[in-house]
Amino acid sequence: MIPHGARQGTSYGMALRAASALSFSLMYALMKWAATLEPVSAGEMVFYRSIFGLPVVLMWVLSAKGGLASLSTRRPMVHVWRCALGVTGILLIFQGLRLLPLADATTIGFTAPIFATLLSILFLKEKVGRHRWTAVVLGFLGVLVMVRPGAAGAPPLAGLLFALGGAFVAAAVTVTLRQLGKTESATAIVFWFFVACATVGGVLTLIDGHSHSWAVLAILAAGGLAGGLAQLLMTTSLQHAPVSALAPLDYLQMVGAVVLGWLLLSDAPTLATLAGAALIAGSGLYTAWRERVLRREITPPSPSV
C-alpha cells in the first residue's frame, strides 16, 4: 500500500508534467504562428526561445539547492558535446516546424524514443526484448502512415526529413544525458544548454534574421517564456514522481498541438496524421507500460533537446 504522502507527491508530479506538456505545445504553436505572420528563421526561433526562456531558468537555478554553485561542472567537454547535439536538434525541429503543420511536426518529434532504443543498443549495449522491438516497429508504421509515400497531399518531404532528423538528434541527446546525469546537476545541464542556444541562435539571427513587428515580437517572446516554463515544470516533476508515471503524460503535447493548431492556425489534422499519431503514441505508451511492469525507469518520450 502506498502511503498517502507518496501518493500526493506522485499526483503533484503528474500535474506538473501535464502542465509541462501543454506548455511545450504552446511554445511550438506560438513559434509556428509567428512564422505564418512574418518570415521567421529556425535560428531566430532558437534565439527567442532561449533569450526569453533563460530568465525563467535562471530564477529556477537561484531557487534551487546550491544556487549558482550548482552550475559548476566536472565534465565541461561532455556539456559542450551535449549542447552541440541539443542546438543541432532544436534547429532541425524548428526548421521542420516551419515547413510542416503543427500536429505533424509535433507527432514526428515523438519518434525520438524509437531512435533512442536503437542508439542504446549500439552505444550503451542495452539488451532489447521483443516488447520494445514491437514498440519500435509500431512507431515506424505510424511514421509511414503519416508520410504516405507517393500519396497526393502528403506532408512536404523536406519538412519530414528535418523533423525526423531532429527526433534522431533528440534521441542522441537522451543517450548522452543518461551518462551526464550521473555526475551533473539538472540545473547545470538545463542552464548551459539554454546559454548555448541563446549564443548560437543570436549569431544565426545576426546572419539571417528579419525585422519584425511588435505583435510578432510579442508572440515570439511569449513562445520563449512558455518554453522556459515548460522546461522548469518538466524538470521539477521528476522530483515528485517516477519517470514511469510521468512519461505517458508527455503525449498531451499531441493533443495540445491539434487544439492549438486549429485555434491559432485554422489547421485541422488529416486522418493520416491522427492515425499515425495514434500508432506512435501507442508505441510509446506500450513501452512505458512494459517498463513499468518490469519496475524500471524509462526515458521521457519527448526530451527537451
Q: Report CA-CA distances (Å) from 10 to 5, 59, 208, 237, 249.
A: 9, 24, 45, 9, 13
Structure confidence at residue 65 (pLDDT):
80
Judge contact between 194 and 82, C-beta under 8 A: no
Question: Which helix H or strand E contains 122, and what residues bound it?
Answer: helix 112-123
Question: Which helix H or strand E contains 79, and what residues bound it?
Answer: helix 76-99
Helix 4-37 and helix 42-63, axial crossing angle in degrees, nearest 10: 150
Q: Report CA-CA distances (Å) from 139 to 30, 258, 281, 287.
A: 27, 19, 8, 11
List of the chain residues with pLDDT < 50: 1-7, 298, 301-303
d(Cα 298, Cα 279) in Å, to the nearest integer?
19
Question: What are the extents of the domains in the chain?
Answer: 13-293
Residue 36's closest CA among 220, 230, 247?
220
Judge contact between 171 and 116, C-beta under 8 A: yes
* Structure-block grid coordinates of residue 84: 552541440
Judge contact between 44 and 276, C-beta under 8 A: no
Residue 24's closest CA among 162, 195, 229?
229
Structure confidence at residue 109 (pLDDT):
87
